[in-house]
Amino acid sequence: MAETGEAVIRVKIFEQSYGLRGQEAPEYIERLAEYVDGKMRRIADAAHLVDTQKIAVLAALDVADDYFKLRQEYEALARSVEERNRQVCEKLKKVRSAGLGMDPS
User: What whole-number distance in Å separates Cα of residue 57 and Cα of residue 43?
Assistant: 10
What is the value of pTM for the model shown? Answer: 0.74
Q: Is 85 inside any structural domain? A: yes
Question: How many domains does the structure of the chain reveal?
Answer: 1
Domain membership of residue 56 (yes or no) is yes
Say which amino acid occupies 88: V
Domain contains 104: no
**Residue 56 belongs to what domain range?**
8-99
Cα atoms found within 13 Å of the Cα of residue 7, Cβ hemisphere only: 9
DSSP 16-46: EEEEEE-SS-HHHHHHHHHHHHHHHHHHHHH
In a domain, 3, yes or no: no
How confident is the chain (105 residues) per 10-residue block, as mean pLDDT? 69 97 94 98 95 97 98 98 97 86 58
- CA torsion through residues 26, 57, 42, 52, sign: negative
Q: Is 35 inside any structural domain?
A: yes
Residue 2 resides in a domain: no
* Beta carbons of 36 and 46 less than 8 angstroms apart: no
